[in-house]
Amino acid sequence: MTGVLTALHDRAREVLDPVFYDYVAGGAGGERALADNERAFDRLALLPRVLRGSAVRDTAVRLPGAPATAPVLVAPTAFHRLAHPDGELATARAAAAAGVVLVTGLAATTAVAEVVRAARAVDPDAAVWFQLYLQPDPEVTECLVRRAERAGCTALVVTADSPVFGRRERDLRNGFTDLPPGYAAENMRDLPGGPPGGTRPIAMSPELSWDDLARLRAMTALPVLLKGVLHPADARLAVAGGVDGVVVSNHGGRQFDAVPAAVDALPAVVEAVAGRVPVLLDGGVRRGADVAIALALGATAVGVGRPVLWGLAAEGERGVRRVLDTLLDEYDHALALCGARGNADLTGDLVVRRGAGVR
Ligand SMILES: Cc1cc2nc3c(=O)[nH]c(=O)nc-3n(C[C@H](O)[C@H](O)[C@H](O)COP(=O)(O)O)c2cc1C
Ligand SMILES: CCCCCCC(=O)C(=O)O
């Protein structure tokens, strides 16, 4: 991690309830996928070009529902009010101020309409996407989609890597199975089949299929991105199913310990998608150079999960802003050092394996 991110992490660890710290920091099983996400970036290096740079570098990217934005996004993460009393509102303000897309989650402790309002109070053009788990009851899914539309979200992100909840040994050890009193997944309030005024539990189902994604696709005119894709064949199916983007992700190593690092899965997905829709990546991005590596390998943008929560826990809105600004500054600096005038100059030939020599 960068110096700033390490300091924010250390402060977050001091101030957070250790049970919640473990929930955020931890992963599934023996945490091999979690560790590998960062290590896989360490195994890669950038091979700069010389004498072709620019003093002003073009870092803007075009994403569905975000026509000109930074190549770093806030990945969807649950329960921000457990990290800081201002919760998702602080995250939304910081993301908007940094010019970064915020993906707010179904499992947010603040309702999506309030999150969008907070972002737009900072920047009327701020892009907020809504992440959801398809619910087995299509009526519930439809109600969630309408809420996101009404709130003004500009894209939907469907997380597909969670047919069941990951086996997270830290949470099992700590008995962290539910939100403490006073906190709720606010987007799950007042839904069909739920208690009036109360919340329904978020369901995960191993029986969801591509038909369910097709139903969602037909339900809304918003762009839809599919998150949690690792297999290139699934990337092809997603594009054929009309998605507007694919997010290569292993859920930060929190679902299945046996999977590869996200960045190791990226090139095959990029090849399968063949430029038809943007490919995004999250998992293990901790430095601006990691952003550059992912873009050179064909990602259009990257998401950041845990560092945002460390910033939030440590310093609220200011901490999130520091995380995002640091990554964006470092990314711009990496472009300069690569002799790149902008994202487009980051090509696959710039990425090599450390220790493998250069041909
Ligand atoms: C505490 C926490 C909660 C998360 N909650 C969600 C969620 O509700 N929905 C989702 O799609 N992904 C969720 N994720 C996964 C992130 O979106 C993202 O894939 C992951 O954090 C990226 O890895 P990183 O933390 O190494 O940046 C969560 C991750 C963390 C750390
Ligand atoms: C059943 C509760 C859903 C919360 C989802 C949070 C999440 O995805 C995570 O990784 O934690």
Q: Is 80 noted as a catalytic residue in this protein?
A: no
Backbone angles phi, psi at 295, to 5 degrees: -70, -40
DSSP readout, 186-240? GGGBS-TTSPTTSBPPPP--TT--HHHHHHHHHH-SS-EEEEEE-SHHHHHHHHH
pTM (predicted TM-score): 0.98
Query: What are the Cα distances from residue 182, in Å, to 88, 171, 178, 208, 324?
Result: 15, 20, 11, 31, 29
Where does residue 117 rank: exposed (0-12), middle (13-18), buried (19+ CB within 10 A)?
Answer: middle
Fold of the domain spanning 3-353: TIM Barrel (3.20.20)
| Both structure tokens of 353 | 């394996």
Q: What element of type H or E holds 352?
A: strand 351-353
Where does residue 349 rank: exposed (0-12), middle (13-18), buried (19+ CB within 10 A)?
Answer: exposed
Residue closest via CA to ligand 2's atom 11 equals: 78
Per-residue tens of pLDDT for the chain, all 359 residues: 779 999 999 999 999 999 999 999 999 999 999 999 999 999 999 999 999 999 999 999 999 999 989 999 999 999 999 999 999 999 999 999 999 999 999 999 999 999 999 999 999 999 999 999 999 999 999 999 999 999 999 999 999 999 999 999 999 999 999 999 999 999 999 999 999 999 999 999 999 999 999 999 999 999 999 999 999 999 999 999 999 999 999 999 999 999 999 999 999 999 999 999 999 999 999 999 999 999 999 999 999 999 999 999 999 999 999 999 999 999 999 999 999 999 999 999 999 999 998 98
Q: Which residues line ligand 2 (CB under 6 A)?
A: 78, 107, 165, 202, 251, 254
What is the number of the ligand 2 atom nearest to the C-alpha of 203? 1
Is 64 near ligand 1, meaning CB less than 6 Å away?
A: no
**How many other CB atoms are there within 10 angstroms of residue 74's CB atom?**
28
Q: Which residues contact 191 (CB under 8 A, 6 or more apart)?
A: 140, 143, 144, 199, 200
Q: ipTM score here?
A: 0.99
